[in-house]
Structure 1
Amino acid sequence: MIEAILFAITIVLPNLALMGLGFFMQKNGQASKAFIDQASSFVFNYCLPCLLFFSVVDSEVDYAKQLILIAAGVVVTFILFVGSELYAGRFISKPADQGVFVQGVFRSNMAIIGLATVANAYGEQGLGIGAVYMGIVTILFNILAVITLSRVSKNVHDTCINRTILIVKKLATNPLMVALVAAFAYKALSLSPITGVIHTTGDLLAAVALPLALICAGASLDLKSMLSLSGISMQASIGRIVIAPLVAITVGLSFGLTGVHMGVLFLMAAAPTAAASYVMAKAMGGNDILAANILGFTTVVGMFGMAIGAGILRGMGLM
């Protein structure tokens, strides 16, 4: 039991420490909004793509064996999406709130907090598996997010065709998706291993990705907004922090997952609400204040939920 508790603390505490550093820097004027925006853009466009690309290219993971894990992730995502859609349709009246609520429940922060926690738990092996999982499920996240947020659009040009074009454009221009597709293609073609200056440079950029991303996440926290949750934001936060991990565990067990695969599924699904949910809600006319509240609260509190769940699963020998 003590080993399970130490495992949970070990995989979550480094992330909280880096987020705490970012929050401290912001409060002391050492991390301005301009710095946070520029650093976040640097991480998203250069560092994270390098991390994902080399994690996949260098890994010895048998991707055919990840099909069950990916299938479980798709099932978890659809259960959370459909369940939150039904709940929002019945209990939330404003269309601008409904889509934001749904996205806050089903869309987790896999690229930063999910991957960072998986890396802390399982090292390079976990990163390789997590990168593949993230690549597939991210496509689904973007499609479902556009579907649920498009309900607030009043634009006559907002047709199914235009929404499809929007989804394709978002995926085709997303640096993370480009990096993952390039990595899969490189592996599929069985090209020579990347070495020398290119790999060293990629490693240096990749090493910056998760620490800087977590510092920026901490520096972006707004405690006032986080602690003044409305009824809807609290309901969405409960869906993300409590319901999503329970669904992931149930689905994982039903698919027979154990060890690293159960760990990746749980940590990716139990991660806080994705930062992209706020950007997308604002761009598509959703309630961006509600999105910011859900994001802030789940980013901090969700980390403790991940630790508790990981400790329990570890103690049971499931991850």
Structure 2
Amino acid sequence: MIEAILFAITIVLPNLALMGLGFFMQRRGETSQAFIDQASSFVFNYCLPCLLFFSVVDSNVNYAKQIILIIAGIVVTFILFIGSEIYAKRFISRPADQGVFVQGIFRSNMAIIGLATVANAYGERGLSIGAVYMGVVTILFNILAVITLSRVSKNADDTWSSRSIMIIKKLFTNPLILALLAAFAYKALPLPPIPSVINTTGGLLAAVALPLALICAGASIDLKSMLSPSGLSMQASIGRIVIAPLLAIAVGLSFGLTGVHMGVLFLMVASPTAAASYVMAKAMGGNDILAANILAFTTVVGLFGMAIGAALLRGLGMM
């Protein structure tokens, strides 16, 4: 069991340390909101796409064997979405709160926290598997987020047609999805090897992605929001930190997942609420304060939940 605890600490502590550095820099006034926004945009548009592209291109993983893992992830996502929708309609009265609550539960931070933790746990092989999983489930996240947040809209002319166009536009302009599609196409076609200069440059950009993203996540933490959560944000946080990981384990076991595949499923699902949930909630007229509270609380507390779950799974030989 000691080995399992050390494993959990090893995969989570580097993420906490980098987020702590970002928070420390923010408290010392060494980062500004402009820096955080620009650095986050740089990571999302350039560094993470390079990380995903080269992780897939340089790997020898048989992606046909990842179908069961991806199906399990889709099942978990739909169960969380439908369950939180039923709960929200029954117990939450304000439409502006309902969609934010639902999104806070089903949408995890796979691109930053999830991938970083998987990389710490399994190295390049885990990163390649996690990248493919993330690419597919991210599409589902975006579609479900627009559906649940469509209860309210700042635009009186908003229709299902305009929302559908928005979903399609988001998917086909998402740098992460485009990078994965490009990587799959490259591996499928008889193309020459990537020149060493491009490979080295892409590798350097990829190396920046997760550390800088985690530092920005730490610098974005609102301590006041985290320490003063509302009852509704606590309910959503429990759904994300407790219910989602337990559901991932149950579904993973029912699909017969073990080893790295169970580990990827658990770590991706158990990640804190996605940072994009706040941006989308604000853009679509949802309760952005509630979204910020959920994001802040789960970002910090969720990492400890991931460590506990990883230790237990490792101790039982399931991860």
Mark yes or no: TM-score above 0.5. Answer: yes
**Alignment correspondent of 1:164:** 164
Specify the code of the residue in structure 1 equivalent to 2:139. Answer: I
Question: Alignment partner of 1:245: what SS?
Answer: helix
Give the CA deviation at 1:162. Answer: 1.2
Give the 3-state SS of the residue equivalent to 1:152 in structure 2: coil
Q: Which residue of 1 aligns with 2:227?
A: 227
Task: Write out aligned runs for 1:275-314 (5 A).
Answer: 275-314=275-314
Aligned to 1:127: 127
Instruction: Give, in whole Å, the separation in 1 of the partners of 2:156 and 2:81.
Output: 26
State the one-letter code of the partner of 1:89: K
Residues in 2 aligned to 1:76 and 1:200: alpha-carbon distance in whole angstroms: 37
**Match in the other structure for 2:60:** 60
2:97 and 2:170 map into 1 onto residues whose CA distance is: 23
- 1:267 matched to 2:267? The reply is yes
- Give unmatched runs, 5+ long, in structure 2: none
Q: Which residue of structure 2 lines up, in the alignment, with residue 40 of structure 1?
A: 40
Q: Offset at 1:290?
A: 0.3
In structure 2, give the amino acid aligned to 1:242. V
Shift of 1:184: 1.1
Equivalent position SS for 2:215: helix
The letter for the 2-side match of 1:16 is: L
Tell me the amino acid that sits aligned with residue 286 of structure 1. G
Where do 5+ consecutive residues of structure 1 fail to align? none
SS of alignment partner, residue 85 of structure 2? helix
Distance 2:61 2:114 in 1: 19
Which residue type is aligned with residue 221 of structure 1? Answer: I
TM-score norm. by structure 2 comes to 0.99
**Structure 1, residues 142-162: CA drift from partner, whole Å, max 9, x if none?**
000000000112644322221
Cα RMSD for the two superposed structures = 0.8
Does the aligned pair in 1 maintain the 2:36–2:220 contact within 8 Å? yes
CA offset digits 1:231-287 (Å, max 9, x no partner)? 100000000000000000000000000000000000000000000000000000000
Map 1:151-230; keep pairs closer than 5 Å. Answer: 151-153=151-153, 155-230=155-230
Matches of 1:165 and 1:107, distance apart in 2:
21
Q: Distance in 2 between matches of 1:216 and 1:60?
A: 32
In the TM superposition, residue 82 of structure 1 has moved relative to its aligned partner by: 0.2
Aligned to 1:255: 255
1:97 maps to 97
Q: What is the distance in 1 between the residues matched to 2:33 and 2:220?
A: 8
Q: Which one is further off, 218-227 or 158-167?
A: 158-167
2 CA distance for matches of 1:132 and 1:313? 23
Residues in 2 aligned to 1:263 and 1:227: alpha-carbon distance in whole angstroms: 30
Name the CA distance, whole Å, in 2 between partners of 1:262 and 1:192: 35
Counting only pairs closer than 5 Å after superposition, residues 7-22 of structure 1 correspond to structure 2 as: 7-22=7-22
Aligned to 2:71: 71
Measured in 2, the distance between the counterparts of 1:306 and 1:193 equals 38
The number of aligned residues is: 319
Q: 1:195: Cα distance to partner?
A: 3.5
My pick for the range that moved more, 152-161 or 249-258, is 152-161
- CA deviations on 1:97-134 (whole Å, 9 max, x unpaired) are 00000000000000000000000000000010000000
Match of 1:31 in 2: 31
Residues 64-91 of structure 1 deviation map (CA, whole Å, 9 limit, x = unaligned): 0000000000000000000000000000
For 1:259 and 1:15, the matched residues in 2 are separated by: 22
CA distance in 2, matches of 1:259, 1:192: 34
Alpha-carbon distance in 1 for matches of 2:109, 2:143: 16
Give the residue type in structure 1 aligned to 2:51.
L
Paired AA for residue 186 in structure 1: Y
Q: 1:29 is paired with a residue of what secondary structure?
A: coil
1:191 is displaced (CA, Å) by 2.2
Give the Cα–Cα distance (whole angstroms) in 2 for the partners of residues 274 and 154 of structure 1: 22
2:88 maps to 88
How far is 1:189 from its partner?
1.1
SS at match of 1:48: helix
Over the matched positions of the two proteins, sequence identity in percent amounts to 85
TM-score by length of 1: 0.99
Query: What amino acid does structure 2 have at the position aligned with 1:274?
Result: A
